[in-house]
């Protein structure tokens, strides 16, 4: 019993926080409180401006303000995506047309040379097998301008009646042979660099029995085409 009383009579020591540490804690609390107090008026100001422009009690297009704002944001994002998509499409198309063998591309192209049964072409002109004419790839023809496949008048395509020079090395005679050809038609089975000519024009470059040979060609003059 005496032992218990002795324990209760031991004076307790108080823990004192150093003044510098207490001051630092108070300073940090003041800073946090200050930031909170600074943000609160800013938020209140923004909310007040929004309320003055779009009062919360009103309906917009039959929608509450919250739903209306969400729908408006979604519409703006969709419009932005559409604009970006169109811009990317135009850039791709411009780059694609730049690489095509259009008259504005002053390069020399190499592709396959074939011949076909002539007649009325996409340019509205009737040709014969002995005429020096050529059918251009539908890809190039359509990229240049109007085409019946696109709902336009292919007779007005800027490639119609334009001239190109086709050449190839004839191993039989050991010399380069060439022929100037007029564009009169649109070849649906041709790749961009291919040419499809009349039988007579083909035989000026290779024997008809060859059927398909390689050819090098280039435009003889620049032509203004739509982009």
Q: What is the pLDDT of residues 211-222, one digit of tens each?
A: 899 999 999 975
| Domain positions in the chain | 109-219
Whether the per-residue pLDDT at 225 is higher than 50: the answer is no
What's this model's pTM, rounded to 2 decimal places? 0.54
pLDDT of residue 158: 92
Nearest residue to 226 (alpha-carbon basis) of 139, 97, 137: 97
What is the spatial distance between Cα 65 and Cα 140, in angstroms, rounded to a whole number? 53
Asked if 121 and 184 count as a contact pair (C-beta separation under 8 A), the reply is yes
Please check whether the domain covering 109-219 is classified as CATH 2.40.40.10. Answer: yes
- The three-class DSSP label of residue 189 is coil
pLDDT of residue 118: 92
């Amino acid at each position: 019993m005496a032992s218990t009383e002795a324990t209760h009579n031991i004076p307790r020591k108080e823990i004192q926080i150093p003044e510098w540490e207490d001051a630092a804690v108070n300073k940090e609390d003041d800073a946090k409180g200050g930031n909170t107090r600074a943000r609160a008026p800013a938020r209140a100001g923004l909310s007040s401006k929004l309320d003055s422009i779009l009062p919360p009690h009103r309906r917009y297009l039959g929608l509450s303000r919250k739903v209306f704002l969400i729908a408006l944001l979604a519409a703006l994002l969709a419009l932005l995506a559409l604009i970006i998509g169109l811009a990317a499409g135009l850039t791709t198309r411009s780059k694609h047309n730049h690489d095509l063998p259009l008259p504005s591309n002053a390069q020399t192209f190499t592709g396959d040379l074939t011949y076909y049964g002539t007649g009325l072409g996409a340019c509205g002109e009737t040709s014969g097998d002995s005429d020096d004419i050529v059918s251009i790839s539908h890809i190039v023809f359509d990229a240049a301008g109007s085409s019946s496949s696109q709902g336009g008048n292919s007779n007005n395509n800027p490639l119609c009646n334009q001239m190109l020079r086709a050449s190839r090395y004839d191993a039989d005679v050991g010399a380069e042979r060439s022929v100037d050809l007029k564009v009169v038609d649109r070849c649906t089975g041709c790749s961009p660099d291919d040419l499809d000519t009349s039988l007579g024009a083909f035989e000026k470059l290779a024997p008809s029995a060859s059927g398909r040979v390689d050819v090098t060609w280039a435009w003889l003059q620049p032509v203004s085409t739509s982009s």
